[in-house]
Structure 1
Amino acid sequence: MKQLKLFLGTCFLLVAGVFSGCQPDHEESHSATPLISQVKESHAPDKRVALFDITYSNDSLKGQTNLPRALGELTAKLDSAGIPYTNVVEQLPDAALEGKTHGVVTISVANIRSAPKHSAELATQATMGTPVSVLKKAGSWYLVQTPDKYISWVDAAGITLMDKNAFNQWEASPKLVFTGLLGYVYESEDKSMMVSDLTAGNLLKLLGEDRKYYQVALPDGRSGYLEKEVAMPFEEWISSRSLSDNNLISTAKNMMGVPYLWGGTSIKGVDCSGFTKTIYFLNGQVIPRDASQQVNEGELVDTEKNWDKLEVGDLLFFGRKATEDQPERIVHVGMWIGNNSFIHSRGRVRISSFDPDSPHYDEYELGRYLRTKRIRQVPSEHIIEVAKAMN
């Protein structure tokens, strides 16, 4: 009997020891998680524009981030709390890029997707000449961050990689802006072969000119000829940009009928926020990508459907109002053009009106209207000049 009691007692101690041995790790994991959440909420509350995908398990910090300061803050908090860890977080840009952490879009419109595959959701687009930060490579895809800070994947054919020196040379070179809606770079002045198509806002390197043509180079070095009447020097174009009523309305109306494209931000297709973003881009400003981001900018103008308060360029937001069970959800945006009307992309770029007597009366959008914000002439760290964004 004594041997049996001793045996059972030994088993109890062993089992208790196993569980007590596991408990500290379990507690440490739980105590590390709130610290990770705190830092993420502070530095990367929006995963679309900042990468801080970090977890703690088995005494290790794992994951990836492009925010070294945030990672440093996290490790300092762990040290202060006495939580042991091995830091195996992948810090981006990836060293495997060998310094080629700059990229420039080299096709008329690059499709930038939520995952490194063509079947993935179209997250956004970037037009030729747009600089991007390159973070890592996966197969034939690159994880990039656009000037509006959006982080997604682009196929290798869409960008050309550069190290800092090469990018500085590109940045310093004289450039042209394509000012038409759709056009082409030709291999020769006889237009016998096309080098690339072009869309509004495309940026090219100026090599030379004659009476009718500019000789240009694309970011990847391909060269050809562009008709002078559909382009102008970048500095001249920038100086001509202004967020005047006429400019905003003209740009918007020039895109009438362009088809709706989820993730689109170009003349080839736009979603609702891609449309408002493109209007502002072509008039000198880069604004946030999505409607749920744009709604956080500027000054509140209206929530009561008082259209007399609105000015040309104001952004109207639509969606679902908050209830006890569900938060507010912004799902659509358009731009006010005056005369009780706004222009937006729903199915196609179109004009809608809140006037019941108008042929463009839009009862559907009126029913889900939430508020109007004014971003024109309102300072914001998230709204930058195109001249700065493209350098």
Structure 2
Amino acid sequence: MKAFKNIILTLCCCVAGLDSAAQALSADTAYQKILELTRQTAQRYAPDKRTAIFELHYTDTISHRYRIVTTEPKAGEYFNQLLVKNRIPDAKVTINLLPDSSVAGNIAGIVNLSVANLRVEPSNQAELASQVLLGTPVDLLQEQDGYYRVRTPEGYIAWLSTSSVSPRSEPELTRWLSAKKVIVTGDFGHAYTMPDEQSLRVSDLVMGNILISGTQADGFVHVQYPDRRNAYIKEELVRPFDEWLGAVNPTAENILKTAKTMMGLPYLWGGTSVKGVDCSGFTKMAYFMNGIIIPRDASQQVLAGHVVDILSADTLAIEKALQNLRPADLLFFASGKGRGPDARVTHVALYLGNGEFIHSAGTVRINSMLPDAVNYDDFQTRTLIAARRYIGQPDYALQPIARHRAYTLPTDKSTE
């Protein structure tokens, strides 16, 4: 009898094991189907994860529970339609639309470090995706593990440490935008606890930083940070923001003048400040300091502006390039030689004229596309595949700061 009971127990365990395996297999099949629907939806509504999110989070295979995180309302609607159409049984999918409740009603944050690092994941060890400057408002989308997922003024989505940003409700953001501010126009500087360069420093400052301004005395401006620290800055380092904004003129001469002030800066992957720049961070900064917000990465920048013809039979035609290019046009490169015009863009530069260009490659430097030029050397390692003109081009991707909601109120005269 005991042996018979052991046989029954063994059979029951086998059946239980088969049931568990069947459940896991069923869950995995459902997961694979949902994963494919996620890919379809992302391809349609969020093809570039740098600017739009549609993510599947696999939470519980046994109970068939899944979570979608997205910034796109229409993507969620489309995905639900696909679920119904494909009749995936028992799948319980929750769609978490960003911004979500984790940001507690704070629609924006103001960066409170001279240069804050944006990362691809909410971790200090994660890859540096980009940077954002002091005084820049960012959309708060989600809080997780001591990080905010944010959207920058140019639409770039990444993770920013909560210690780098001061959250703002809508009324608080309006007060920030309405406040009198200054922008740092010098390369580097410092803020002090007193109107005295011998007093304790509050922080470093870099070109493009924005702070609330107060009284001026003895060659200093009293300023306030987004996190409400108070400090004093030398007058020659800054300019009233509204005055600067009204005077910026994005001509080729001005853009290249700004670019040349960054000569010799070190290359930094993800860098967008005078502490270090990557190739597209360099072009972005040159245009920003002349009043224009452009896309973040080279592969995004090549999609904007007016096409400048520099190719013949899919190959760079030097004579044509010299004839058609104008100063401050953007040049786009692929790595290696012999690449076609549809190759992946990996590098960008600003055209100076006479075959020369300025770019961030090791350092910010000037090279030439002309084989007999002494500074031709770097050109040999790349293939020039495209050129774009931004100046004077009506393009949604090229946004004047004076009309951007991150820097001015809709009722401002500057936005009319």
Q: Distance in 2 between matches of 1:20 and 1:187?
A: 67
Q: Distance in 2 between matches of 1:63 and 1:74?
A: 10
| Aligned partner of residue 280 in structure 2, secondary structure | helix
- Aligned-residue offset at 1:268: 0.5
Residue 62 in structure 1 maps to residue 64 in structure 2: no
Deviations 1:7-60 (Å, cap 9, x if unpaired)?
A: xxxxxxx9xxx9999999888666655543332112100011111002687654
Tell me the TM-score normalized by structure 2.
Answer: 0.82
Partner of 2:258: 251
Q: Distance in 2 between matches of 1:371 and 1:286?
A: 21
- Check the 8 A contact 1:353/1:360 in 2, yes or no: yes
Q: Distance in 1 between matches of 2:93 and 2:351?
A: 50
| Aligned partner of residue 345 in structure 2, secondary structure | strand
Residue 298 in structure 1 maps to residue 302 in structure 2: no
Q: Distance in 1 between matches of 2:157 and 2:182?
A: 27
- Aligned-residue offset at 1:184: 1.3
Partner of 2:277: 270
- Aligned-residue offset at 1:227: 1.7
**Structure 2, unaligned stretches of length 5 or more?**
1-14, 409-416
- Structure 1 residues 23 and 373, CA, compared in 2 at 3 Å: closer, same or farther? same
2:182 pairs with 166, 176, 182, which one? 176
Q: Distance in 2 between matches of 1:309 and 1:293?
A: 22
- Check the 8 A contact 1:187/1:223 in 2, yes or no: yes
- Check the 8 A contact 1:318/1:365 in 2, yes or no: no
Superposition map of 1:1-391 within 5 A = 32-54=34-56, 60-80=65-85, 82-83=87-88, 85-191=91-197, 192-210=199-217, 212-301=219-308, 302-303=310-311, 304-305=316-317, 306-320=321-335, 328-362=343-377, 364-365=379-380, 367-387=382-402, 388=404, 389-391=406-408
- Check the 8 A contact 2:38/2:56 in 1, yes or no: yes
Partner of 2:5: none
Q: Distance in 2 between matches of 1:197 and 1:112?
A: 19
- Aligned-residue offset at 1:277: 0.7
Partner of 1:8: none
Deviations 1:155-195 (Å, cap 9, x if unpaired)?
A: 22211111222111111111111110001111111221111
- Structure 1 residues 267 and 367, CA, compared in 2 at 3 Å: closer, same or farther? closer
Q: Distance in 1 between matches of 2:163 and 2:26?
A: 50
Q: Distance in 2 between matches of 1:159 and 1:324?
A: 42
78-87 or 346-355, larger mean C-alpha shift: 78-87
Partner of 1:11: none
In structure 2, what residue type is equivalent to 1:175? K
Partner of 1:3: none
- Structure 1 residues 248 and 20, CA, compared in 2 at 3 Å: closer, same or farther? closer
- Aligned-residue offset at 1:116: 2.0
Paired residue total:
375
- Aligned-residue offset at 1:278: 0.7
| Aligned partner of residue 116 in structure 1, secondary structure | coil
| Aligned partner of residue 89 in structure 1, secondary structure | strand
In structure 2, what residue type is equivalent to 1:54? L
- Structure 1 residues 63 and 365, CA, compared in 2 at 3 Å: closer, same or farther? farther
- Structure 1 residues 45 and 322, CA, compared in 2 at 3 Å: closer, same or farther? farther
Q: CA RMSD in A?
A: 2.8
- Check the 8 A contact 1:108/1:127 in 2, yes or no: yes
